[in-house]
Chains A and B, each alone.
Chain A
């Protein structure tokens, strides 16, 4: 797992290095102040001195490296490492291009982003994402265990629910929103917006409530209970308990894997609901045995 933290964090440290080295060593060839932000047409519209820009670039690299090191370590999924490589490649290319656009100018307001900026960014992102293949593959899922059904009275109504979530995913979402705001101001509004939206999605899907009742299984995400996944009681073929690891689902949060979906916030006990179609929904939640016992009883009642 330590290897994944390093693999996840390192690309960002590497990616910001060219821009920092350029800013630090090419003082004689750079105007003061330098252009730091470029409008939609690629022309400079914001300026700062080069040491401030170098410091912000370094802070961005260290911050992103820390976030992705934690995420890659906690998740263990190769896609988190690949995503780290891709964002690092993209950011590194754009930051380098921003610094390079100032070279050999006496007035930074004449700076415009070189035409190679975005092709280079795409290539760098694609190439750097290949680092994901350095991560070992996920292990196989262990078989779920069935549990005895709960005793229900003929007219009894039962509702079981638990809150689920991962604080560090909320933190990650918040950090990405902050990084998005910073990038939007410093680099390009579009880049900032993309990072910000990813952060908002991560934060929204970082907590939820799992409910089992006469209607079936419901997983409602976020503070608003939306979005929501529901498996209707009539669709449920089996409700069981299993021990799972995030590596089996390629990471944390809402996962789509061959054979089903997962809502994975931690390793350990999980509720595994199999639909009549054979696809499974796995949710990591405390006390899944009670949830499975109740779903079993609800299915029995429907069949009577």
Chain B
């Protein structure tokens, strides 16, 4: 699991951490059940605040990629985490493309529903 952050980039550090972990899961370098580094250790390792790491981990939990358990740390979810991480990345690209042409959230969701209905 390779986690890269660059404070010089405009993307928030928490998003950069989440993106790194997501990439690792998508590429299979962290499989189901793999334990992520403890938030405190990763914060020390990267020289960032523990709140930044926790914010990144919470994003990943909301995306259904990891489980956060008190005292047990962050664990990659069972199932097919690599496929799920790839879908989350595509969803982000979809939203980014839609935002570039000023589509609002409702329109994006309508489009996804329409696409899902044809399959």
In the assembled complex, B35 has its CB within 8 A of some CB on chain A: yes
Task: From known contacts A160-B1, A161-B1, A161-B37, infer whether A155 and B6 are also in contact, taking CB-CB under 8 Å.
Answer: yes
In the assembled complex, B101 has its CB within 8 A of some CB on chain A: no
List the B side residues contacting A154 at CB < 8 Å: 8
In the assembled complex, A269 has its CB within 8 A of some CB on chain B: no
List the B side residues contacting A162 at CB < 8 Å: 1
- The docked-state distance in angstroms from the alpha carbon of A155 to that of B4 is 11
Q: Contact check, B6 vs A160: say whether CB atoms are below 8 A apart.
A: no
Question: Which B residues between 1 and 27 are near A, CB-CB below 8 angstroms?
Answer: 1-8
Q: Contact check, A287 vs B29: say whether CB atoms are below 8 A apart.
A: yes
* Nearest-neighbor residue (CB-CB) of A163 within chain B: B35
- The docked-state distance in angstroms from the alpha carbon of A294 to that of B1 is 12
List the A side residues contacting B46 at CB < 8 Å: 157-159, 213
Question: Which B residues between 37 and 63 are near A, CB-CB below 8 angstroms?
Answer: 37-38, 41-42, 45-48
Most buried by A among B6, B8, B29, B37: B37
Task: From known contacts A159-B46, A163-B34, infer whether A225 and B41 are also in contact, taking CB-CB under 8 Å.
Answer: yes
Query: Given known contacts A161-B3, A213-B46, A225-B38, what 20 new A-B pairs fall within 8 Å (CB)?
Result: A155-B6, A155-B7, A155-B8, A156-B6, A157-B5, A157-B47, A158-B4, A159-B2, A159-B3, A159-B37, A159-B42, A161-B1, A161-B37, A163-B35, A209-B37, A211-B45, A213-B45, A214-B45, A225-B41, A294-B2
